[in-house]
Amino acid sequence: MNDLISRLETLKAQRDAVVLAHYYVDGDIQDAADYVGDSYYLSTIAKNRPHQTILFCGVRFMAESAKILSPEKTVLMPDTLADCPMAHMVTPEYVNDIRSAYSDLTVVCYINSTTETKAVSDVCVTSSNAKKIISAIDTKNILFIPDRNLGSYLQGFFPEKNFILPNGCCPVHDNLQIEDISSIKSSIPDALVLSHPECASDIIKVSDFVGSTSEIIAFPAQSAAHNFIIYTENGVAHILKKKYPSKVFHFPSPPPVCKDMKMITLEKAVHALETMANPIEVPESLRKAAQKSLVRMHELAD
């Protein structure tokens, strides 16, 4: 392990590389990364850091978003097959069909979507900036893609808007069962439930706090509670335990695991920087079309 970390450090200097990791990858990669965060934070860092090479330890839409915003940089992934299944649950054809049916419509695209879908959308959002961005939208109709759970959670804050929601979801969060909350609460009744808005509405309703991955990680700092029931991917356990050694974090059983995030390993990270193989490429016309929705996200949220 130490050998891999020192090889990574040497390669980072040789390749002028910055290593970014999402909170859902394994703890050893989070520890080796220069920046660890949620989707929005990582998109901001990828755009702003001066390094020539970005090694993105996350899933494909994250690395592609970095390439779309910084085409002059080399963007690598430890495993280019790590992909988010939800990103493929809506197609550009679906978006175009809905667009042709409404004259007063904004297409709001969760960043967890393909480059092709971003290219036909008006603005991207993440779970940490969606409320702020939707507040700035003046159309009555909003096509929110692809996550129906995040979309219906947001709809609750904007009763004046007409949300159109397709049937996409994150299989990891959507699978979480409310019974696990009752079972943990039966022995620890004062445990607080912190959930990600990709969870289904029955879980959102009984949650004490709903927020993005980073917001969930920040929450215990300002809470007197000792026990927390965490309804998001198990990778956050690593930072929660480090940040709050005296607090206890309970997860649904079995712990929620995104198998695509777990395809990222330290060995593959070192290999990617060693070989510089398989850089992320996006055809220029597609990149320019997708860039608009990501730039608008950063303009409205930064």
Q: Does 38 bind ligand 13P (CB under 6 A)?
A: yes
Determine the Cα–Cα distance for residues 114 and 135; give it in Å rounded to an integer. Answer: 24
Query: CB-based contacts of 291: which residues, under 8 Å, 6+ apart?
Result: 68, 69
State the nearest-atom distance from the C-beta of 196 to ligand 13P, in Å.
Answer: 6
State the nearest-atom distance from the C-beta of 180 to ligand 13P, in Å.
Answer: 19
Q: Rank residues 52 and 175 by Cβ distance to ligand SF4 and give the closer one.
A: 175
Q: Does 27 bind ligand SF4 (CB under 6 A)?
A: no
State the nearest-atom distance from the C-beta of 8 to ligand 13P, in Å.
Answer: 23
Q: How many contiguous H segments (helices) and E segments (strands) does the chain have? A: 15, 12
State the nearest-atom distance from the C-beta of 146 to ligand SF4, in Å.
Answer: 10
Q: Does 172 bind ligand SF4 (CB under 6 A)?
A: yes
State the nearest-atom distance from the C-beta of 130 to ligand 13P, in Å.
Answer: 9
How many residues are given for the chain? 302
Determine the Cα–Cα distance for residues 25 and 32; give it in Å rounded to an integer. Answer: 11
What does 38 interact with, of ligand SF4, ligand 13P, none (CB < 5 to 8 A by kind)?
ligand 13P
Q: Rank residues 258 and 282 by Cβ distance to ligand 13P and give the closer one.
A: 258
**Strands (DSSP E) found in 38-154:** 53-57, 74-76, 105-110, 123-125, 141-145
State the nearest-atom distance from the C-beta of 170 to ligand SF4, in Å.
Answer: 3
Give the DSSP letter of residue 188: -
Please identify which residue in the block is written with the tokens 């979480």: 176
Subset of 35-94 contacting ligand SF4 (CB under 6 A): 59, 84-86
Q: What burial class does residue 299 get, using C-beta atoms within 10 Å of its C-beta: 0-12 exposed, 13-18 middle, 19+ buried?
A: exposed
The token pair at 21 is 């990791």
What does 85 interact with, of ligand 13P, ligand SF4, none (CB < 5 to 8 A by kind)?
ligand SF4
Buried (b) or exposed (e) across 45-66, using 16+ Cβ within 10 A? Answer: bbbebebebbbbbbbbbbbbbb
The token pair at 143 is 């096509």
Subset of 203-222 contacting ligand 13P (CB under 6 A): 212-213
Q: Does 114 bind ligand 13P (CB under 6 A)?
A: no
Q: Which of 170, 204, 272, 301 binds ligand 13P (CB under 6 A)?
A: 170
Say if residues 67 and 75 touch (Cβ distance below 8 Å).
yes
Binding site for ligand SF4 (CB under 6 A): 24, 59, 84-86, 112, 170-173, 233, 258, 260-261
